[in-house]
């Protein structure tokens, strides 16, 4: 028994014995960790057959992408994705700088000395007035309305309106459009773009009418599409202002039509029946009229997309594409079709185009103190004053508050009916009301004469809207001031955009992630946001894109015949 105990040898499993032997053997060779190495080698041999491991090895072996390169790649992806949805941009891109083989001949010609001007004196005028043009055979700029060969009643009307000399953009745009060339006009707010397309359109309609008078049910010769009813009405009124004196001077009658939702359709149809020359429309009502064959575009040769970037932003692309389908003229069809198959994203650079005639002030006002401080702020300048807010509810609250305080105020937002909207705009424009409180529906394109002060009760989410808002003052060479309330409710992106636009001391201390962006801009040559041109953020952080994504989802769910919602005319 004792023997049995002394002879006891502890049982070691065979595998362990073998491992122990190998270990001893390798130790003898002086390689203590060689076993581990051997095991690793074995593992690698096995791993060679796994695709996953191969892939991870490849990734490991790839050169490291820097953070900046990663951002550039992400931005490129976003821009490429955008170009799928923003097809109308390519219409702009195609027309940019005059790209066409076949200009529409109008027969208009400036006086001989201007026609004979060589490139050099043309460039001198352009340089003097900071006119930047791009394209082939650009007609010479013209420095006075008389040489543009407008009829006498036009010249009289311009004088009545206090318009004696063309604005710089008009010096170049008017000859380009009058001679029948396609054109894209990008200019800061209040620079007089409306007359650029209204006056030549009337001239073309007049010429056509003289050559072959329009028959009942025919027309129009020209079409102006606007993104909001207010803007369409305003443009229609400008057309009317010039047609009236022509009628009085016994020129052939030209009939304009305002084609917008929210107004009685019967009078609109009556004008169409007698034959209409010029149509000013919003996309929705225009599309309806065309689809129901109440009107056709068989004779239409002149198209203006006013605030074209906004027409796209508001998801009117589908409506406009449908409108394009009604054009019979080959030129338009080619133009529209090629535009739609070769989409390009274009940056209009509006955010950088803030009007230099506007003094911009920014004030930090706590949320609770805003409404009371507003009253104080109204004392800064005489009336009329425009107050902008993001929300309809805030517009209503401020409006009520001002009325309670005895201030002559009107209000406008998308929730108000057409009559209220029209009353608000008309009474404010006529000077019967001192203050207009509005959402961004009133920020773009609307021309309120002599506004001295714009108050941004809050900042718009997009810097582009800020530029449009403040552009309601400082128009046609006058100066104006703006006061923008900011507080901690504003997003950092908005504030940084603003900082880059103004850089006042109150914003200078903000921590700016755009410092990296300098490096990005040096590599890909895109400064700021490739979408909206805001200088305080990159395209990845652009708030509207998030919104657009949700809109795309929403619109894909929308019933085709349901006209409510976002795509409704605003
Ligand atoms: N040559 C001119 N001289 C003086 N005033 C002008 C001239 N041309 C236009 N105006 C006036 O300037 C104002 C602004 O013009 P308009 O509304 O066409 O600007 P806009 O460039 O379309 O601005 P926005 O981008 O805000 O729509 C109008 O009241 C218009 O009558």
CATH superfamily of 91-347: P-loop containing nucleotide triphosphate hydrolases (3.40.50.300)
* Token pair of 520 as six digits: 């990005």
- Mean pLDDT of all residues belonging to the chain: 76
| Winning range, highest mean pLDDT, from 113-117, 136-140, 308-312 | 113-117
Mean pLDDT of 121-128: 90
Band (1; pLDDT cuts 50, 70, 90): very low
Band (56; pLDDT cuts 50, 70, 90): confident
- Tell me, in angstroms, the distance from the centre of ligand 1 to residue 511's CA: 39
Say yes or no: CB of residue 186 within 6 Å of ligand 1: no
Say yes or no: CB of residue 213 within 6 Å of ligand 1: no
Would you mind telling me the total number of residues written for the chain in this entry?
Answer: 570
Mean pLDDT of 371-384: 92
Pocket test for ligand 1, best of 447, 449, 465, 472 (most atoms within 8 A of CB): 447
Band (304; pLDDT cuts 50, 70, 90): confident
What pTM did the predictor assign? 0.66
pLDDT at residue number 536? 67
Contact 103, 145 (CB under 8 A): no
- Nearby residues of 427 by Cβ (< 8 Å), 6 or more positions away: 410, 433
- Tell me, in angstroms, the distance from the centre of ligand 1 to residue 22's CA: 93
Residue 67 pLDDT exceeds 70: yes
Domain ranges across the chain: 91-347, 358-546
Band (466; pLDDT cuts 50, 70, 90): confident
Classify domain 358-546 at the CATH topology level: Rossmann fold (3.40.50)
pLDDT at residue number 92? 44
* Token pair of 242 as six digits: 């010039």
Residue 560 pLDDT exceeds 60: no
pLDDT tens digits, one per residue of 12-49: 666 666 666 666 665 665 555 555 665 566 655 555 55
**What is residue 124's three-state secondary structure?**
helix
Residue 96 pLDDT exceeds 50: no
CA distances from 336 to 63, 94, 137, 279, 322 (A): 44, 10, 23, 19, 10
pLDDT at residue number 446? 82
Rounded to whole angstroms, how far apart are CA atoms 201 and 203? Answer: 5
Say yes or no: CB of residue 190 within 6 Å of ligand 1: yes
Rounded to whole angstroms, how far apart are CA atoms 506 and 483? Answer: 14
Closest CA to 268 of 222, 276, 299: 276
Mean pLDDT of 194-219: 91
Residue 510 pLDDT exceeds 90: no
pLDDT at residue number 8? 54
Say yes or no: CB of residue 474 within 6 Å of ligand 1: no
Pocket test for ligand 1, best of 155, 172, 173, 190 (most atoms within 8 A of CB): 190
What is the phi/psi pair of residue 278, to 5°?
A: -135, 130
Say yes or no: CB of residue 175 within 6 Å of ligand 1: no
pLDDT at residue number 529? 73
CA dihedral 273, 274, 275, 276 (to 10 degrees): -90
- Tell me, in angstroms, the distance from the centre of ligand 1 to residue 56's CA: 62
Mean pLDDT of 411-436: 91
Identical fold for domains 91-347 and 358-546, yes or no, is yes
pLDDT at residue number 347? 28
**What is residue 363's three-state secondary structure?**
strand
Q: Locate the ligand 1 atom nearest the alpha carbon of residue 170 and give its number.
A: 1
Supply the ipTM of this predicted assembly: 0.97
Q: To the nearest whole percent, how much of the chain has pLDDT over 90?
A: 31
Q: Which DSSP symbol is given to 149?
A: T
pLDDT at residue number 453? 93
- Tell me, in angstroms, the distance from the centre of ligand 1 to residue 159's CA: 14
Rounded to whole angstroms, how far apart are CA atoms 140 and 538? Answer: 39
CA distances from 422 to 232, 264, 328, 411, 425 (A): 12, 14, 34, 10, 5
Q: Locate the ligand 1 atom nearest the alpha carbon of residue 194 and give its number.
A: 18
- Tell me, in angstroms, the distance from the centre of ligand 1 to residue 472's CA: 10
Contact 336, 460 (CB under 8 A): no
Band (131; pLDDT cuts 50, 70, 90): confident
Beta-bridged to residue 517, according to DSSP, are none
- Tell me, in angstroms, the distance from the centre of ligand 1 to residue 440's CA: 19
Q: To the nearest whole percent, how much of the chain has pLDDT over 70?
A: 67
Q: Which DSSP symbol is given to 111?
A: -
Contact 223, 281 (CB under 8 A): yes
Residue 87 pLDDT exceeds 60: no
What is the phi/psi pair of residue 225, to 5°?
A: -105, 130
- Tell me, in angstroms, the distance from the centre of ligand 1 to residue 490's CA: 32
Pocket test for ligand 1, best of 160, 194, 226, 471 (most atoms within 8 A of CB): 194
pLDDT at residue number 83? 47
Q: Locate the ligand 1 atom nearest the alpha carbon of residue 187 and give its number.
A: 21
Band (338; pLDDT cuts 50, 70, 90): very low
Q: Which DSSP symbol is given to 77?
A: H
User: Is the pLDDT higher at 562 or at 260?
Assistant: 260
Rounded to whole angstroms, how far apart are CA atoms 229 and 280? Answer: 10
- Tell me, in angstroms, the distance from the centre of ligand 1 to residue 449's CA: 9
Residue 201 pLDDT exceeds 50: yes
Comparing 138-147, 159-168, 438-447, the range with the smallest average pLDDT is: 438-447
């Amino acid at each position: 028994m004792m023997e049995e105990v002394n002879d006891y040898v502890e049982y070691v499993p065979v595998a362990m014995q073998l491992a122990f032997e190998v270990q001893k053997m390798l130790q003898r060779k002086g390689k203590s960790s060689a076993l581990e190495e051997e095991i690793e080698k074995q593992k690698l041999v096995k791993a060679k057959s796994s695709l996953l491991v191969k892939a991870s090895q490849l990734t490991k072996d790839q050169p490291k992408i820097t953070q900046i390169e990663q951002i550039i790649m992400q931005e490129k992806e976003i821009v490429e994705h955008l170009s799928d949805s923003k097809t109308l941009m390519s219409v702009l891109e195609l027309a940019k700088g005059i790209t066409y083989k076949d200009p529409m001949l109008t027969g208009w010609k400036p006086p001989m000395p201007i026609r004979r001007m060589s490139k050099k004196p043309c460039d001198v005028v352009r340089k003097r007035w900071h006119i930047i043009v791009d394209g082939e055979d650009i007609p010479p700029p013209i420095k006075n309305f008389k040489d543009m060969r407008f009829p006498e009643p036009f010249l009289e009307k311009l004088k009545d309106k206090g318009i004696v000399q063309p604005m710089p953009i008009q010096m170049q745009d008017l000859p380009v459009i009058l001679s029948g060339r396609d054109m894209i006009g990008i200019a800061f707010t209040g620079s007089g773009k409306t007359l650029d397309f209204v006056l030549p359109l009337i001239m073309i309609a007049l010429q056509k009418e003289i050559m072959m008078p329009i028959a009942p049910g025919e027309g129009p010769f020209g079409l102006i599409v606007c993104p909001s009813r207010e803007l369409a009405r305003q443009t229609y009124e400008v057309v009317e202002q010039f047609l009236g004196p022509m009628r009085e001077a016994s020129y052939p009658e030209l009939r304009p039509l305002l084609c917008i939702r929210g107004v009685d359709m019967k009078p609109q149809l009556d004008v169409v029946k007698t034959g209409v020359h010029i149509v000013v429309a919003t996309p929705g009502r225009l599309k309806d009229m065309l689809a129901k064959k109440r009107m056709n575009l068989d004779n239409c040769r002149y198209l203006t997309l006013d605030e074209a970037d906004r027409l796209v932003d508001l998801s009117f692309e589908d409506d406009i594409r449908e409108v394009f389908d009604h054009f019979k003229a080959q030129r338009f069809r080619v133009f529209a079709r090629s535009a739609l198959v070769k989409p390009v994203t274009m940056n209009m650079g509006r955010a950088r185009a803030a009007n230099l005639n506007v003094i911009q002030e920014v004030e930090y006002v706590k949320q609770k103190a805003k409404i009371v401080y507003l009253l104080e702020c109204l004392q800064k300048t005489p009336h009329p004053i425009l107050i902008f807010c993001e929300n309809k509810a805030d517009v209503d609250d401020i409006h009520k508050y001002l009325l309670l305080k005895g201030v002559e105020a009107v209000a406008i937002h998308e929730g108000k009916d057409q009559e209220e909207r029209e009353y608000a705009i008309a009474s404010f424009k006529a000077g019967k009301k001192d203050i207009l409180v509005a959402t961004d529906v009133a920020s773009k394109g609307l021309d309120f004469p002599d506004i001295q002060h714009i108050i941004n009760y809050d900042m718009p989410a997009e810097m582009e809207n800020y530029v449009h808002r403040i552009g309601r003052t400082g128009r046609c060479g006058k100066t104006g001031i703006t006061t923008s309330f900011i507080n901690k409710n504003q997003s950092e992106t908005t504030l940084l955009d603003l900082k880059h636009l103004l850089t006042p001391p109150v914003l200078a201390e903000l921590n700016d992630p755009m410092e990296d962006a300098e490096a990005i801009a040096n590599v890909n040559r895109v400064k700021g946001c490739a979408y909206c041109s805001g200088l305080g953020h990159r395209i990845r952080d652009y708030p509207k894109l998030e919104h657009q994504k949700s809109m795309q989802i929403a619109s894909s769910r929308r019933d085709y015949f349901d006209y409510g919602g976002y795509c409704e005319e605003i």
